Amino acid sequence: MKRSHKIAAAIVVTAGIGWAIAAAFAHPGGMGPGGMGPGMMQGMGPGGMGPGMMRGPMGAGMQHDAAFAADMQLVHGMLDGHENIKRTVTNLPNGIRTVTESDDPQVAQTIKAHVASMEKRLAEGRVFNLFSPTLPVLFEKKDSIRTKVEMTDKGSTVTQTSDDPQVAAALQAHAVEVSELARDGMAAMMRGAQAAMGGRR
């Protein structure tokens, strides 16, 4: 393939991912590929998808529940305000300790709401996944994870540990994914989408 054709194809793929993500935020109940967690919604691929159901490796069995739209709004808010987010991650021998905060009161409140919602989802096994290859392991083995959440004035501190080495590794890998989102915002989301669809980061 000529270089010009390769460039054109890359532009088309990138634009398609961008529109898919934009559609996800505009209409959370009918998201295209994947989610923020493990796997990918199959709506972009052969076979399509049933209403409100994520399929594929990233979103296997993920049903859009009543809180899905609200959680998507929180994610959208954090992506929009990612430049105001400060995040540190400490890898522990059996997990992680993260501090995610913002000097912007609105972003700080969004962080707190997101952390509280995700803690509840994990405890209840209600998958919420946008293009993360690590979340499937965490939700599948949720009972082996110990979580401690502390809300701060500007956000939250989360400590998660597990005696299962696979889960501990997944916790650390997922923390890296979240840090990329906090650092790069929508650009990181698009990289995740491209990787989920077989592209390269």
Q: What is the pLDDT of residue 199?
A: 53
Q: What is the pLDDT of residue 138?
A: 93
Q: What is the pLDDT of residue 87?
A: 96
pLDDT in tens, 143-193: 999 999 999 999 999 999 999 999 999 999 999 999 998 999 888 888 877
Q: What is the pLDDT of residue 189?
A: 81
pLDDT in tens, 57-110: 334 344 567 788 888 889 889 989 999 999 999 999 999 999 999 999 999 999
Burial of 169 (0-12, 13-18, 19+ CB in 10 A): middle
Chain Cα centroid distance, residue 157: 18
Q: What is the pLDDT of residue 31?
A: 32
Mean pLDDT of 3-32: 39
Sign of CA dihedral 7, 8, 9, 13: positive
Q: What is the pLDDT of residue 194?
A: 79
Structure confidence at residue 124 as a pLDDT band (50, 70, 90): very high
The answer to whether residue 21 scores a pLDDT higher than 60 is no
Sequence ranges of the domains in the chain? 3-196
Distances, alpha carbon 46 to alpha carbons 10, 32, 55, 60, in Å: 20, 13, 12, 15
Which phi and psi angles does 66 have, rounded to 5°? -65, -25
> What's the pTM?
0.67
Give the largest CA-CA distance in the chain. Answer: 55
The answer to whether residue 32 scores a pLDDT higher than 80 is no
Of the two residues 5 and 93, the one the predictor is more confident about is 93
CB proximity list for 98: less than 8 A, separation 6 or greater: 87, 88, 89, 90, 157, 158, 159, 175, 178
Lowest mean pLDDT segment, chosen from 38-42, 54-58, 125-129, 173-177? 38-42
Of the two residues 90 and 6, the one the predictor is more confident about is 90
Q: What is the pLDDT of residue 78?
A: 93
